[in-house]
Amino acid sequence: MKALLTIALDAMGGDSAPRIVVRGANIARRRYPDVRFRLFGDERRIAPLLKRMPKLRRAIAIDHTEEVVTDDDKPSHALRQGKRSSMRLAINAVRDGEAEGVVSAGNTGALMAMAKFTLKTLPGIDRPAIAAVFPNYRSESVMLDLGANVECNADNLIQFAVMGSEFGRSVLGLENPSVGLLNVGTEEVKGHESVRQAAAILREDGAGIRYHGFVEGDDIAMGTVDVIVSDGFSGNIALKTIEGSVKLYSEFMRKAFKSSVSSRLGYLLARRSLNKMRARVDPRRYNGAMFLGLNGNVVKSHGSTDAFGFANAIGVAVDMAAHRFNEKITAQLDRGSLSMPVRTRAAAS
């Protein structure tokens, strides 16, 4: 039994919970027959959804609770008042070794606060970061932080670089992932002090990181590097800007294809190829932001995703658990990257 992976699911998080959580789990069950799920939430609402899913019923256990964290709850409030919430109990399962990862589509701030409090950060990591995988011209890359830390010093950025690099290696399967720092130009003098300081240290002492240099916003799509490191403010703005731009472009396309008889016909002829392309940039395919730097695998799904997107977020948690990402990070930090933050502090003072 313990050879199987178990993923804890916050069944009540997200716009269409628990429906998309249950359906997402059903898709994930087919993809990962060796994974078991623990659904935390209101059994009276979950059970009816399982009626026609006998196979899923055998792959899951339900932990009943009536409390939920809402999207409007402040993280501090959720932390104090939500001790019996579906979100918190799902995280507790990871802390207690009953699950190898947790997925929630609920309140991001509350999830981060609870995960930090319950699981603690890895030794050598001051602050966890939110990371996600993005498609690019070449293949795909991972970017962090996407919003957990609005202000970041050089130490934080270097720790993000260490984590991103290890993620590239162990989860994306890259031999020697390249790392870039997101900035407003590629010259050494550009940007905030924190990003220049982090660059100076990474240039001098990579400690297992293949440091590429500064990268700019368009390098994300170009795939200039495998790992893009940013403070959480600019990273979040880049993330949302990508989402917005892709949506706008798709919408303009949709209108263009509808605008005449000949373009409608053209669409029908090109549809298969276009759908393949669309699948490549489908945000649901890249659903599942990872909280890196915690003693446990925590994945945040988009609140408005569907079952397919939620299943992909589950896949991210499975990947992180299967590749033992946290153990590798810890080993990496033990091997010497741990010395880096100390050296940064010296340089900063």
51 binds its own copies (CB under 8 A): no
Residue 340 one-letter amino acid: M
122: DSSP letter: P
Residue 110 beta carbon to its own copies: minimum distance, rounded to whole angstroms: 13
Q: What are phi and psi of 143, to 5 degrees?
A: -125, 140
Cβ 152 to its own copies, closest distance in Å? 11
Per-residue x/- track, 169-208, its own copies (CB under 8 A): -------------x-x-----xxx----------------
Question: Residue 220: in which H helix or E strand, if any?
Answer: helix 217-222
Does 282 help bind its own copies (rule: CB under 8 A)?
A: no
How far is CA 228 from each of CA 66, 161, 206, 216, 327, rounded to the nearest angstrom? Answer: 40, 8, 15, 10, 22
Residue 316 phi/psi, 5° resolution? -65, -45
> Could you say whether residue 245 binds its own copies (CB under 8 A)?
yes
Told to check if 80 binds its own copies by CB under 8 A, we report no
- Could you say which of 83, 84, 247, 345 contacts its own copies (CB under 8 A)? 247
In the set 220, 225, 311, 340, which binds its own copies (CB under 8 A)? 220
342 binds its own copies (CB under 8 A): no
Q: What is the tally of helices (H) and strands (E) in the chain?
A: 14, 11
* CB-nearer residue toward its own copies: 273 or 349: 273
* Phi, psi torsion values for 302, nearest 5 degrees: -55, 135
Q: Which helix (H) or strand (E) holds 239?
A: helix 232-258
122 binds its own copies (CB under 8 A): no
Query: Smaller CB distance to its own copies: residue 176 or 241?
Result: 241
> Please, what is the end-to-end C-alpha distance for the chain in angstroms?
52
- What the block records as the tokens of 259 is 């605008």
Piece of the chain touching its own copies by CB under 8 A; list 7-15, 88-96, 269-277, 297-305 = 269-277
Return the number of the residue (206 or 223) whose C-beta is nearest its own copies. 223
Pick the closest to residue 132 from 88, 76, 72, 172 (CA basis). Answer: 172
Residues that contact its own copies, how many (by CB under 8 A): 61
Tell me which of 257, 285, 303, 322 binds its own copies, using CB under 8 A. Answer: 257
Please report, to the nearest 10 degrees, the dihedral formed by the alpha carbons of residues 164, 97, 12, 109 taken in order. Answer: -40
Q: Should residue 123 be labelled a site residue for its own copies when binding is judged by CB under 8 A?
A: no
Instruction: Report the alpha-carbon distance of residue 177 to residue 167 in Å, rounded.
Output: 9
Residue 251: exposed, middle, or buried by beta-carbon count in 10 A (0-12, 13-18, 19+)? exposed
Shortest spacing between CB 291 and its own copies, in angstroms: 16
Query: Cα torsion for 83, 88, 92, 94, to the nearest 10°?
Result: -170
The reply to whether 239 sits near its own copies by the rule CB under 8 A is yes
Q: Which stretch binds its own copies (CB under 8 A): 40-48, 121-129, 162-170, 252-260?
A: 252-260
Contacts to its own copies by CB under 8 A: 135-137, 147, 150-151, 182, 184, 190-192, 216-222, 230, 232-234, 236-253, 255-257, 259-260, 262-263, 265-274, 276-277, 280-281
